[in-house]
Amino acid sequence: MIKKRIYFDHAATTPLLPEVRQFLSETMESMYGNPSSTHAEGRASRSFIEEHRKNIATILNCSTSELYFTSCGTESNNFVLKSAVSSMGIKRIISTRIEHSCNMQTFDWLHKHKQTNIEYLKVDDKGRIDLNQLETLLKSNGTPTLVSLMQVNNEIGSCIDIQEVGSLSKQYGALYHSDTVQGIGFAKYDLKNTNVDFISGSAHKFYAPKGSGFVYINHQQKPEPFIHGGAQERNVRAGTENLLGIGAMSFALKLCYDTYEERMSKLETLKAHFKQRLSTEFPNLEYNTPSENSSPKILNVQFPSFEGSELLPLMLDIEGLSISGGSACTSGAEKASHVISEIRHDHKGKAIRFSFAHFNTLDETDQVIEILKKCLSGKI
Ligand code: PLP
């Protein structure tokens, strides 16, 4: 009998919820007009998009005119960072070296091509920043500054309090961008009452299809066109809208928040149970995820090194378990992420990220323990 695979890689991407699949198949049949057309089919598509923009704005407590639809989290973050420099006068960015590569690469590009000064905060061995250091840097010069600090780290799950960082940034006149791609659907937002200027979201992280995302830009900031062409997205991001993607993203987001407490409590239970079993069975493991202020869906575990430890993700895959062990490299193995290299200086062992969904079960976590026992037997 073929054993059912176990998928613990929900921070990479999530499958569609059955309700989202149902919504999509119904919408697919009825909604095909071009939202820019003036005839009945076009008008129906336009109101469909605006209805879903309203839904997302209500969930995040912001205005519809502050939301722009994009194709993914990467585009959203590129849009924010490049706009902040090209149309909002930003000359300096304060961030960390553990941001997602779509931000890190954009910082490098802005530094090289737009002479933007990039300053990095230190992070500790669990990816936490020191707010005093942030304050010192904010105080230190009057250059127009953007603070860019992700809310939930996608590798290790450490979280930043966006209220706190937002207030500090505001106090010193800096703009604040938070990459919230791992937070949307898993944390609550009250954007009208939070001093954050930009946040980003990506549908495939919260059970909707890939290819759809959004960016929130506070109404005080006016972005210039990012993609040139038609008048879509209020002349800022041209191109015929991903109607089905937008609808499904909004629908999935509502489902996430309608069932928020129940889902979060399931995630917390799963993570606590799994960590407790790991600690009992393998007392010499270390955890890259902080015990407090971390995402309930992410547990990053440092396995001691042993001969072939680089191949642990592959061994687990063969045993039917999907996890993430860094980014793919040409050998078919995976190389350590820049995040782990930044928080651990010993370069020993192998970091594995386990990331859960509310429909994972305690039984699956127990099966994963058995798989680990088999793969690690006699090795650690
Ligand atoms: N930011 C974070 C924190 C992420 O985890 C990801 C995806 O893993 C992205 C940005 C990029 O999002 P997308 O895959 O939608 O481009």
Mean pLDDT of the region 42-67: 98
Instruction: Determine contact, residues 127/150, Cβ cutoff 8 Å.
Output: no
**CA–CA distance, 223 with 175 (Å, rounded to integer):** 13
- Residues 6+ away with beta carbon under 8 Å from 107: 81, 93, 95, 99, 116, 118, 148
- E strands, 14-172, where? 67-70, 92-95, 117-120, 145-148
The shares of helix, strand and coil residues in the chain, as percent rounded to the nearest 5, are: 40, 15, 40
Domain-by-domain residue ranges, the chain?
6-16+260-376, 18-258
The yes-or-no answer to whether 6-16+260-376 and 18-258 have a common fold is no
Please check whether the domain covering 6-16+260-376 is classified as CATH 3.90.1150.10.
Answer: yes
Check pocket membership of 179 for ligand 1, CB cut-off 6 A.
yes
Instruction: Determine contact, residues 79/226, Cβ cutoff 8 Å.
Output: yes
**CA–CA distance, 2 with 368 (Å, rounded to integer):** 16
CA 242, 243, 246, 251 dihedral sign is negative
For residue range 169-199, what is the model confidence (pLDDT) as tens digits?
Answer: 999 999 999 999 999 999 999 999 999 999 9
The per-residue DSSP string of 218-230 comes to -TT--PPPSB-SS
Instruction: Determine contact, residues 10/297, Cβ cutoff 8 Å.
Output: yes
Atom 12 of ligand 1, residue of closest alpha carbon: 73
Residue 334: pLDDT band (50, 70, 90) is: low
Mean pLDDT of the region 75-86: 98
The fold for domain 18-258 equals: Aspartate Aminotransferase; domain 2 (3.40.640)
**CA–CA distance, 225 with 218 (Å, rounded to integer):** 16
For residue range 104-144, what is the model confidence (pLDDT) as tens digits?
Answer: 999 999 999 999 999 999 999 999 999 999 999 999 978 99
* 353 bridge partner residues: 300, 324
Q: What percent of the chain has pLDDT over 90?
A: 94
What are the structure tokens assigned to 193, written together? Answer: 């009452």
Check pocket membership of 154 for ligand 1, CB cut-off 6 A.
yes
Distance of CA 105 from the midpoint of ligand 1 (Å): 13
Residue 328: pLDDT band (50, 70, 90) is: low
Q: What is the pTM of this model?
A: 0.97
| Catalytic residue status for 72 | no
148, 205, 327, best to mutate for ligand 1 pocket (most atoms within 8 Å of CB): 205
Whose structure tokens read 């079960």? 361
How many Å separate Cα 209 from the centre of its chain? 15
Mean pLDDT of the region 236-244: 98
For residue range 304-324, what is the model confidence (pLDDT) as tens digits?
Answer: 999 999 999 999 999 999 999
